[in-house]
Amino acid sequence: MRDKRFVLACDIGGTHITAAIVDTDNWVILEDTITRQHVDSSSDAKSILQNWTDCMRHCIALSPQEVQQIGIAMPGPFDYEEGRALMIGQTKYDSLYKMLVTQPIKDNLAGLPIQKISYINDAAAFLQGEIFAQGLEHKDRVLGITLGTGLGSAVWTKGEKAFDAALWEAPFRESIFEEFLVTRWFTKRFEELTGIQEPGLKEILENHDALPSTKILLEEYVQHLLDFLAYFSEKHEAINFIIGGNITKAWEKICVGKKTALAAYNIELGKYQEHAAIIGAASLFNTPQSKTVIKAR
């Protein structure tokens, strides 16, 4: 029998943390333990860490079994071996810059039998979870993209573990790709076009869908995305993509009139989203077998 069957797995994003207990014998998310909490990633380090660990502690309290291991899907840049935050100038987690976060997390979880905390890039965790969930593990290579407060990219090759492709800072138009593919691009560019400030793409589409400027915004964005798909595809020699993240909730609006151009790639949208990243984070402690099903119970 394998010890340490139950793992606390977390998906940390720019505005939230989601945690759940995963039964790694069956790759089952224990549905009753799923816990989500808003995080103000622009706040001070103590508040951020407290938000994270409040969510973790609440989730552990719902576990039917003792939990000794924590797997965390974390956005980059981040030193996943050391547990050191390296995000700076991305409007998220600046206050954690260069901080080793493992010990503060353990300190905040004092009294719980936590033995090990491990980290994986959030895009790699998402990709690996989606591949097994969607039954795509027969493909030779799949590339993953997450579009949200940051740009995530990952590569999965048959029989291997997904890894962070780290293309967020790849050069593009005298800047980097991330600056043209994330939420802040929408808000900045929309204000340039209209003089109107909105907090995100959702609000732009809800309040200004009929404006000609909104159509221009989406056309510009999808061209940036096509440029990134071409770059990523050539660099890692694959045309199979899984794309996830909050921006994909507007996928049909973004891709209007561009389906022919996108047809050059085999694109699957993420179906499990955070649940996939949670399974990917749990897999840090147990290598997934060739046939894995992601589900909740």
Question: What pLDDT digit, counting tens, does each position of 114-149 carry?
Answer: 999 999 988 899 998 888 777 787 899 999 999 998
Do 34 and 60 belong together in one domain? yes
Averaged pLDDT for residues 173-195: 97
Three-state secondary-structure class, residue 181: helix
Do 266 and 181 belong together in one domain? yes
Do 283 and 251 belong together in one domain? no
Q: Which domain holds residue 12?
A: 6-125+275-296
Do 114 and 203 belong together in one domain? no
Q: Does residue 130 sit within a domain?
A: no
Do 285 and 253 belong together in one domain? no
DSSP assignment of 113-175, as one string? ---EEEEEEHHHHHHHHHHHHTT-TTSSEEEEEEESSSEEEEEEETTS--EE---TT-EETTE
In the chain, the number of structural domains is: 2
Q: Does residue 253 sit within a domain?
A: yes
Amino acid letter for position 81: E
CATH number, domain of 255, equals: 3.30.420.40
Contact 216, 193 (CB under 8 A): yes
In the chain, pLDDT over 90 holds for what percent of residues? Answer: 72
Q: Among 45-54, 69-78, 174-183, name the one with the lowest average pLDDT.
A: 69-78
Q: Does residue 14 sit within a domain?
A: yes
Q: Does residue 133 sit within a domain?
A: no
Q: Is the pLDDT of residue 295 over 70?
A: no
